[in-house]
Amino acid sequence: MPDLVALADIDAARAAGAGVVRHTPVVPAGDGLVYKAENLQTIGAFKIRGAMNKLAALGADARRGVTAGSAGNHAQALAYAARHFRVPCEIFVPAGAPIAKIAGCQALGALVHEAGASLAEAVAASRTRAAEAEMTFCHPYDDPLVVAGQGTLGLELVEDLPDLECVIVPLGGGGLAAGVAIAVKAHRPHVRIVGVQASVCAPYAGDPAPTGPVVTLADGIAVKYPGDITRPLVERYVDEIVTVDEDAIADAMVHLMEVAKLYVEGAGAVGVAALAGDPGLAAREGTTCVILSGGNVDLGAVPGLIRRHETSAGRRLSVFARIDDRPGGMARFLGIFAEAGANLIEVEHIREGLALHVRETGVRATFEVRSPAHAEAVLAATRAADYPVTRE
């Protein structure tokens, strides 16, 4: 059976996205490694490639409008493409969808409906709306036109990286991985394609579909079931599939912010996570490219990521102590930390649930320190001053 997506389809998709889809840069990351920065793409993710190709192909058939069930990058990409082609767009999101993403779709002119408690229910509502209003339902990945659009990223890799040997790509529904693999292997069949899934939802890796909501930093690739179109393409063209856990994804996101100065969402950072866990995934010679598929980070998650990273790197010190509950007691206690070079981040009194002397209070405090060795020195100074602190 011939593939539903060929190189000619991907070449045509490139023309369809002209003027909107950006040719994103490849950023050197050392030792034969580069990052394909799709986080700098229009709407902040690769999804615009497939959306533009889909609407361009629909032509007059899209005049009644397009619909989708999505709470993420697909919704924003479709809204952007619909505005470009001047057709109506309605997006269905589950209850509790991120306000920023809803606002993003609305700013692009889309009508946003809240429908159901899950993404599956939102998708079902969008299909129903499409049938009732003679609109076109646009699938986020299981569509040959979408796959071909995503494949334009592969054409850019071939053009920009003459010694390309390996591509590491996020793998959710399979549209991006399949499209990139088809485009790259059409020009350079020897290039190895590695797909990366989040371990909590990894159907392409052979894991059973999880039941209930999937909680992961990589929500953009948390697709429970491979597509009818994308699955055979992934099985044919993707050479290897690996999985990464939540800690690895969190570490990769912070690494990209701190070292590469790139703001990348969890789904976009899984390739970096995979390579950090297994450096052997990279090609021994030539260039290995990790695709950073999107940069639409949930801002609410960033403080937690930073706190976690600072703690694991030994740059946060949390302690508990019992101190004299008299005027100046807190100041004397905190002064010891200040003299030792620790910067106070937060402090609270703990008076309930402890067997305290009537002139005593519990204190929980968190400090910024320079290193694990500095933290130990701070603790030693505090204990030398007769404060029996315990580390938390």
- Residues taking part in catalysis: 47, 293
Among positive and negative, which fits the CA dihedral 226, 230, 235, 238? Answer: negative
Q: 């392409």: which residue's tokens?
A: 204
For residue 154, give the amino acid letter: G
Comparing C-alpha atoms, which of 225, 220, 227, 226 is closest to residue 249?
220
Contact between residue 66 and residue 78 where contact means Cβ atoms under 8 Å apart: yes
Phi/psi of residue 345, each to 5°? Answer: -100, -50
Question: How far is residue 239's CA from residue 32's CA, in Å, rounded to a whole number?
Answer: 20
β strands within the chain, DSSP E: 26-30, 33-37, 66-69, 89-93, 111-114, 136-137, 164-170, 192-198, 240-244, 287-292, 316-324, 343-350, 360-368, 390-391
Token readout for 10 is 């991907």
Token readout for 276 is 């950090």
Phi/psi of residue 174, each to 5°? Answer: 110, -5
DSSP string, 290-338: EEE-B----GGGHHHHHHHHHHHTT-EEEEEEEEE-STTHHHHHHHHHH
Q: 């493409």: which residue's tokens?
A: 81
Give the three-state DSSP class for 135: coil
- Considering only the C-alpha atoms of the chain, give the largest distance between any 2 of them, rounded to a whole number of Å: 82
For residue 131, give the amino acid letter: A
Comparing C-alpha atoms, which of 363, 259, 374 is closest to residue 316?
374
Question: How far is residue 296's CA from residue 168's CA, in Å, rounded to a whole number?
Answer: 20
Token readout for 227 is 């597509």
Contact between residue 146 and residue 176 where contact means Cβ atoms under 8 Å apart: no
Measured in whole angstroms, how far is the alpha carbon of residue 310 from the centre of its chain? 20
